[in-house]
Amino acid sequence: MERLGYYNGNYGPLEQMMIPMNDRVSWFGDGVYDAGPCRNYRIFALNEHVDRFFRSADKLKIVMPVTKDELKDLLNNLVKKMDTGNLFVYYQVTRGTGVRKHAFTEGAGNLWITLNPAEISDGHTPIQLVTMEDTRFFHCDIKTLNLIPSVMASQKAAENGCAEAVFYRPGGRVTECAHSNVHILKDGILYTAPTDNLILPGIARAHLLRACAALDIAYKEDAFSLDDLFAADEVIVTSSSNLCLRADQIDGIKVGNKDSDTYERLRKYLLNEFYQATAAEQEVLREAIPKQRYPRQGSYTIDDYLALPDDQRVELIDGVIYDMSAPTTPHQLIGGEIYALLREFLLRKNGACVPFIAPVDVQLDMDNKTMVQPDVCVVCDRSKINRTRIFGAPDFVVEVLSPSTKMKDILIKMKKYHSAGVREYWMVDPDAKTVNKILYFSPTAEYPDGDMKMEIFPFSTPVPVGIFNDECVINFSEIRERYEFMFGE
């Protein structure tokens, strides 16, 4: 299907969908929405968007017709029905159906979904902006369907040959754009408007700030003025449909283009994050699986794994053999430092938990199809440890990312560790100088497959180990100092 529409359980080609006239959206624009990009049939930042969608509905007291998990499952299933996996995924809920009256209609709201082909800009080409006084109401933090001011601003931008309109309040405070957030770089610091009731807390904005933290770029959530906008070293526009753009002209006046290095670091980081999170399964397999060397991929067992020569480093995941190149010296240094700090902490505690450093075999699912070698792991159930391997899921796992294993560690092993019962997983990226910390939670009634919480830490911030109630903290700034001293980076 090229373009899909969905309404309360019915779906079909978008242009053929029919909506009741008594849907309250027709009378009052009474609803909220959210949206985001999809690539290779993988919806980007879906948890963040759905959480914001539910927050917006809650602020307007709209009763959601589905749970968060039901909505995510529905969206993931619908995108698979499309001709292309590169899409803009839009969804809204309106406050039910009824004869026109201002007071609320009782009952659950109406769920709408539209899927349209779309591509994400790579951010190379600068855009032009116009300014417009912000005459909107004081609930801009809610993603409502009342978008007439944004429609008028977008039309003004179009009439002036511009991509976006920048709103400003009386007195000159810049708030946001008609359908984007706007930020400035000045003297190496990124400034962005605070998330008060005058702006929408953009998901792309949140990713931008996390990128700043990962890249050690200072940022301030402070209001800035039109004068600041025109004097900025760079003007950056972010949204879920265009992750990172720069402006070179506002109201016909040239702006920015004075800190290309910082902009490029941010742009590349955000695009790389998006591409990694939305990589197709076949992309991962193409990178990770040498099919000619292992013709029976998917059917290999632990016996096949153990029969390989001792000097051949591989992992076995669900019957698929993945080659592992020899780790680099920075990789070994970081893994060794983490292991040493964990060992020191656990010796002081004198508890049951035991740390391990690669190479050690972990028979993750306790079946004959998977054997992995985490860079560092901690096992707190000593019955899982025998003389040849760890039998079952460790409690804590660390993988130090390298170019040859990054896709496997991010997309395959992250899911595998979750399903096997690992409680906490860290992905340490020496190139980006970040730590992706993931806490896995046991299944509940609301999350039958379990839930996870991800945080991204720059090396400059100490990272607490969650399974030890944050008592153990890994100070990556010290590790980084050793890394930079030894390798001149």
**Rounded distance between C-alpha atoms, residue 124 and residue 346, angstroms:** 49
Instruction: For strands 245-250 and 127-133, give the pairing.
Output: parallel
Any bridge partners for residue 373, and if so which? none
Burial class for 264, CB neighbours closer than 10 Å (0-12, 13-18, 19+): middle
Bond preceding residue 359 cis, omega within 30 of 0: yes
The SS3 assignment for 309 reads coil
Q: What is the DSSP letter of 366?
A: S
Q: Which of 59, 143, 186, 416 is catalytic?
A: 143
**What are phi and psi for residue 375, nearest 5 degrees?**
-65, -45
Backbone angles phi, psi at 291, to 5 degrees: -65, -35
Q: Examine the residue annotation and report whether 143 is marked as an active-site residue of this protein.
A: yes
Instruction: Say which DSSP state 413 is in.
Output: I
The residue behind tokens 């990172």 is 244
**Closest by CA position to 415, among listed 465, 357, 370, 460:** 370
β partners of residue 378: 355, 396
Strands (E), 180-313: 181-186, 189-192, 219-220, 224-225, 234-238, 245-250, 253-254
Asked if 134 contacts 162 with a C-beta cutoff of 8 angstroms, the reply is no
Q: How many CB atoms lie within 10 A of CB 284?
A: 16
Contact between 392 and 363 under an 8 Å Cβ cutoff? The reply is: yes
Which residues are part of the catalytic machinery? Answer: 143
